[in-house]
């Protein structure tokens, strides 16, 4: 065991976060996200039974967001005409604001199929048990400055 590491972060996920370099991306996929097919060329980590907000908060305690891009956090846009609400996005924005001075300005949205294309180039894909719709997130890693 280690001190100061959120317990929700498995050894495998910690290893991946440490391996990632500047500009590498990690996807937090909801329970409907096709993690195995999208992550065919990435490391896929199973976090079934965990929601994205808890994982996002834990990851952002250790993971700097990229300061060289406008939106180091990307959410999948709701398809036009889809009557889905996305209250989980408000939760994400609260979490991000606690960990990054840019707060909501760090968050952008990406059209659904473009999101899948970007996710295919991610270093890792985390498959979660998140039941909220359109809850998928891509995080782009920044530089640790100390």
pLDDT value at position 42? 97
Tell me what the pLDDT averaged over the chain comes to: 96
pLDDT tens digits, one per residue of 80-104: 999 999 999 999 999 999 999 999 9
What are the distances in angstroms from CA 90 to CA 93, 94, 95, 104, 109?
Answer: 5, 6, 9, 9, 13
pLDDT value at position 18? 96
* Residues annotated as catalytic (active site), given as ranges: 22, 66, 116
- Is the pLDDT assigned to residue 32 strictly greater than 90? yes
- Is the pLDDT assigned to residue 146 strictly greater than 80? no
Domains in the chain (CATH in brackets) are 11-140 (3.40.1650.10)
């Amino acid at each position: 065991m280690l001190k100061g590491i959120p317990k929700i972060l498995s050894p495998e996920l910690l290893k991946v976060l440490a391996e990632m370099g500047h500009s590498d991306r990690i996807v937090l996929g909801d329970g409907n996200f096709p993690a195995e097919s999208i992550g065919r060329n990435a490391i896929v980590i199973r976090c079934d039974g965990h929601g994205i907000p808890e994982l996002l908060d834990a990851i952002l305690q250790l993971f700097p967001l990229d300061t060289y891009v406008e939106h180091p956090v990307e959410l999948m846009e709701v398809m036009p005409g889809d009557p889905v609400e996305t209250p989980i996005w408000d939760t994400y924005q609260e979490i991000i604001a606690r960990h990054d001075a840019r707060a909501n300005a760090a968050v952008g949205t990406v059209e659904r199929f473009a999101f899948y294309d970007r996710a295919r180039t991610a270093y890792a894909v985390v498959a979660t048990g998140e039941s909220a719709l359109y809850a998928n997130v891509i995080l782009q890693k920044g530089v640790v400055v100390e």
